[in-house]
Structure 1
């Protein structure tokens, strides 16, 4: 019965997601009616005589709206999956994906990239590297204390790591040019999907989808971890290994 309810909830949520995504394609500064959208899809799938309207829709749908919608769905799925994994691992329904300091570390890395370079890939690489560095610091701090509950020490390590990289981010913002670099840092930290394009979505979807699939495959172990470390060990779960894999996949 519970499995049937779960399938029903997933199916209903999927239908709602498709409806919202479709409405997002239609609504905007340039509204598109559903009949025009169907004609455009028929033209793209089966060909036919094109016109200026379909050329304009190519720009609006394929270059502006669709990439943003797909990226928003990917981001939501990644945050939801990593959050659920951490909630099971730390046996706390209030835990968020950024509990180990990854958000602060990535923010510092991106700000540092903007400070030293104008190349976008430098910003992305440093954000990725320092996100993992922040998690590494949290795990290192959590492993330094023996005879303690490892999940509690991981949380404390995450708090320390997050505070450290937040302070370092403040230093970057203090020394940045207030007329060019600082506004760029603030805008990046606020977050935006306006620069999304189909090629970029394709590239970022690969690690995100692989991480999501990995966490889904580990979901049965997460269920056992939610019972507590001792109970999970008694049921044959390699708790340190599963926790390590969960941290890597969620951080990625």
Structure 2
């Protein structure tokens, strides 16, 4: 399974409106090694367009899937996703605000990332303010804050220029990897990998937290600090992914269940499996979005079309049983 994302990245590089044969990649590698002439069209298409896009798809898909798996284990709820604490709504508001104030460019990423983190912080504060210290109250805070930011996004759509700013906001909210460039991959990929690595390092603690509060206390875990660490790592990975890809739904909800069908509930195997499956899933979806139409189809549409029927199938198979 660890090799699957790399294989799909190679396949994604070959496919597109302008197909490339695998032998041409071998010739390009030889040319770069000084054993021939570089084909400028193939070089530009592979190195500057398709390869960064496939790498970013792998990072975003894996990060969203790992965050979703961590949140589902933390809250002991199979319907929780990586955006449950309002990070997607907050990031969407930040991006929409930046698109209106500055247009495209670096401020969109910074505002999206910053407001995504701020939304999760407000969810934590709101959950503690309106209820007790149970983990489920954090979900309540996320629902409240997410609804507020969704309303603010709707307000920004209402006041945006309908000929320029509004289409940019709508397209960003539907999800896309068209902004994939190597500086973007490095800037957003590092916090994504940091968040996923943090969750992988405490994967055994996630197993204990999923057992329940009483069992976790009996085994000597500090519930507050361990929950906070999981939330920080998952939020860091999710906010970094959303700020460069827009809002891509269903990955953080559906892919962790795919991982459980493959690796079971043990987070020692589930976290790596979720990352690989999430990376593969988004690479495939992005490749299909480039192939099925001359203009790129937003990724959020395809993930919903795939995720919805699969989740119905999952509910039918489990018959509502707890996992």
Asked if Structure 1 and Structure 2 have the same fold, meaning a TM-score greater than 0.5 normalized by the shorter chain, the answer is: yes
Does residue 1:218 correspond to 2:205, yes or no?
A: no
Per the alignment, in what secondary structure is the counterpart of residue 211 of structure 2?
coil
Residue in 2 that maps onto 1:61:
46
Per-residue CA deviations over 1:168-216 (Å, capped at 9, x if unaligned) read 1111111111111111101111111112112221221111111111111
Q: CA RMSD in A?
A: 1.4
Q: Distance in 1 between matches of 2:178 and 2:106?
A: 17
Per the alignment, in what secondary structure is the counterpart of residue 226 of structure 1?
helix
Q: Distance in 1 between matches of 2:71 and 2:138?
A: 11
Output aligned runs, 1:161-180, within 5 Å. 161-180=145-164
Does residue 1:250 correspond to 2:234, yes or no?
A: yes
Deviation at 1:249, TM superposition (A): 1.3
Does residue 1:240 correspond to 2:224, yes or no?
A: yes
Output aligned runs, 1:109-120, within 5 Å. 109-120=94-105
Over 4 Å off, 4+ runs: none
Of the two, which has the highest radius of gyration?
A: 1
8 Å contact 2:85–2:120 — kept in the other structure? yes
Residue in 2 that maps onto 1:192:
176
Q: Which consecutive residues of structure 1, in runs of 5 or more, have no partner in the other structure?
A: 1-12
Taking structure 2 as the reference length, the TM-score comes to: 0.70
Output aligned runs, 1:1-40, within 5 Å. 13-40=1-28
Q: Which consecutive residues of structure 2, in runs of 5 or more, have no partner in the other structure?
A: 237-323
Per the alignment, in what secondary structure is the counterpart of residue 14 of structure 1?
coil
Deviation at 1:163, TM superposition (A): 0.4
Deviation at 1:93, TM superposition (A): 2.2
Does residue 1:49 correspond to 2:41, yes or no?
A: no
Which is bigger in relative contact order (C-alpha 8 A, separation at least 6)? 2
Residue in 1 that maps onto 2:79:
94
Indicate which of 63, 73, 93 corresponds to 2:58: 73
8 Å contact 1:62–1:198 — kept in the other structure? no
Q: Distance in 2 between matches of 1:129 and 1:199?
A: 18
Indicate which of 197, 208, 212 corresponds to 2:192: 208
Per the alignment, in what secondary structure is the counterpart of residue 178 of structure 1?
coil
Q: Distance in 2 between matches of 1:55 and 1:125?
A: 34
Q: Distance in 1 between matches of 2:112 and 2:9?
A: 29
